[in-house]
A and B are shown apart, each in its own frame.
Chain A
Amino acid sequence: MDRMVVIPGDLLSKEAKRSGEGTFVKDGMVYSLLYGLANFKDKINVIPLAGKYVPSSGDSIIGVVKDVTFSNWIIDINSPYDGLLHVSEYPKRIESDEMSKVLRIGTSIMTRVKDVDSTMKVELTLNDRKLGVLKTGRVIEISHTRVPRLIGKGGSMISMLKRELNCNIFVGQNGRIWINGSAEDMDLALKIILLIEKEAHTSGLTDRVIDYLKQEKRARS
């Protein structure tokens, strides 16, 4: 048995060195910190079934402008912490009084976490060609705990989806996903992504996704 459901405080191993994510060590033994699925490899990791996104440096995420101050845009990043996008992190030079026109409240952006300090001050950047404002397409929200499953091992799931679905897809580490394509393709992409979210914790997921895709495509043609 390499997978099982655990709750906080469950004893997972008597070998402290096997303590992985979502676990803690007390008196040389490993316990679960979370309600979730424990994966027993060399290390034991517990993947929670729920939880809030906590930003860390380098994460690519999708945010929504919620306020504008003198030199920062305040960005909702689907987290207990707001992101700060300094005016100097915008790819073009703009004046402070233009800020609320350049990125209006409600605008969605693809952004990257530049830095997080110990007090959880989160600095964001748009200074990269891959980043920018989302004007078309759709954004959906799933639990950030499901993101690794949507991406798949070495990006296998997401590349398959992009290929099969004919859509541009950007997966934010914070659980927000941008899809762009024809209305019909986006509808199917949305269904598939919600399916992955719902079934993320189960085995045999990739096969079920492929079956589902085939079915839907057959129904269409």
Chain B
Amino acid sequence: MGENDANITFFKDGLRLDGRRADELRPLKIEVGILARADGSCYIEMGGNKVIAAVYGPREVHPRHLQEVTRAIVRYRYNMASFSVEERKRPGPDRRSYELSKVSREALEPVILTSYFPRSVIDVFVEVLQADAGTRTAGINAASVALADAGIPMKSMISSCAAGKVGGQLVLDPMKEEDNYGEADMPIAMTPDGRITLLQMDGHMTREELKTALDMAMGGCRQVYEVQRKALIDKYNQMEAEIIPDQEQPQEAEVL
């Protein structure tokens, strides 16, 4: 976390610099199935983040020694385009992208039924085209949708969102300025019923703040989930509508 600069105020009239309430997400847009070659794909805009996820597989494992006899392995590659950040990033992986790839894979793997596809690999590729704080959460959200789009069996979706602390206040889904100058950032990912699959934090929070921040981030994940769900259902209805323009569409599942 950057130094807390006393000259920066993060709130004006109770609202954040971009006009959001403390517990409000940035605008979120999700599109399903945007790539022709991939088995499943998703494009997400989460605030200023623009991220694409693609899923290939299950497919043959190369090199072969990585194969597991009883299950599919999952690989996740988080990569930033050179032009995605303010100062051009050198192409290729660095220590940060290795770490993010690892924790993101571990965020998704618990819900994937890897035992259905022994000796194969499910590859998840995430490309950050524009970065604006929270790229890993955007990547996980897109990857989860791309996995569903690829027909991969999963026990549930995974949704991800961060909570942060700026100017002593807790905020949901921090944007770049809040992330750079704030006191803490805590990305999480979870299943819709609240089981946490990713949890990281850097900065400083009291125990009480941590508790509130977790509640806040989980609330954010639930909102993200609704958008993921809608994107998938809408894609189906859109396909259907192109074929039979006037027919009544099948309803979406009621959440019982």
What residues make up the interface of A, taking CB atoms closer than 8 Å to B? 1, 3-12, 14, 22, 24, 26, 31-38, 48-52, 54, 80-82, 118-120, 145, 198-199, 201-204
Docked complex: B144-175 residues within 8 A CB-CB of A: 148-157
Assuming A4-B253, A8-B148, is B191 touching A80 (CB within 8 A)? no
A35 and B244 form a contact (CB under 8 A): no
A11 and B256 form a contact (CB under 8 A): yes
A10 and B58 form a contact (CB under 8 A): no
Q: How far is the CA of A182 from the CA of B229 in the complex (A)?
A: 46
Interface string of B108-122 (1 = CB under 8 A from A): 000101001111100
A9 and B154 form a contact (CB under 8 A): yes
What residues make up the interface of B, taking CB atoms closer than 8 Å to A? 39-40, 57-60, 69, 111, 113, 116-120, 148-157, 191-192, 228-229, 232-233, 236-237, 239-240, 243-244, 247, 250-253, 255-256
Question: Using Cβ atoms and an 8 Å threshold, which residues of chain B touch A199?
Answer: 243
Question: Using Cβ atoms and an 8 Å threshold, which residues of chain A touch B243?
Answer: 198-199, 202
Question: Using Cβ atoms and an 8 Å threshold, which residues of chain B touch A37?
Answer: 236, 250
Q: How many A-B residue pairs have CB under 8 A?
A: 118
Q: In whole Å, how far is A2's beta carbon from the nearest beta carbon of chain B?
A: 9
Nearest 7 pairs of A and B residues by beta carbon: A51-B151, A9-B156, A50-B151, A8-B154, A35-B148, A80-B120, A33-B153
- Among residues of A, the one whose C-beta sits closest to the C-beta of B236 is A5
Counting chain A CB atoms within 10 Å of each CB, the highest count among B117, B154, B228 belongs to: B154
Q: In whole Å, how far is B180's beta carbon from the nearest beta carbon of chain A?
A: 35
Q: In whole Å, how far is A212's beta carbon from the nearest beta carbon of chain B?
A: 12
By secondary structure, the A interface counts as loop
Q: How far is the CA of A11 from the CA of B117 in the complex (A)?
A: 24
Q: In whole Å, how far is B64's beta carbon from the nearest beta carbon of chain A?
A: 12
A12 and B244 form a contact (CB under 8 A): no
18 example contacts (A-B, Cβ-Cβ < 8 A) are as follows: A4-B250, A4-B253, A5-B232, A7-B229, A7-B233, A8-B154, A8-B157, A9-B157, A12-B253, A32-B253, A34-B154, A35-B149, A35-B151, A51-B151, A52-B57, A52-B58, A54-B117, A81-B119
- Among residues of A, the one whose C-beta sits closest to the C-beta of B152 is A51
Question: Using Cβ atoms and an 8 Å threshold, which residues of chain A touch B149?
Answer: 35, 49-50
Given contacts A3-B250, A32-B253, 9 further A-B contacts (CB under 8 A): A7-B148, A9-B192, A11-B253, A24-B155, A37-B236, A54-B117, A81-B60, A118-B118, A145-B151
B155 and A50 form a contact (CB under 8 A): no
Assuming A48-B151, A80-B120, is B191 touching A5 (CB within 8 A)? no
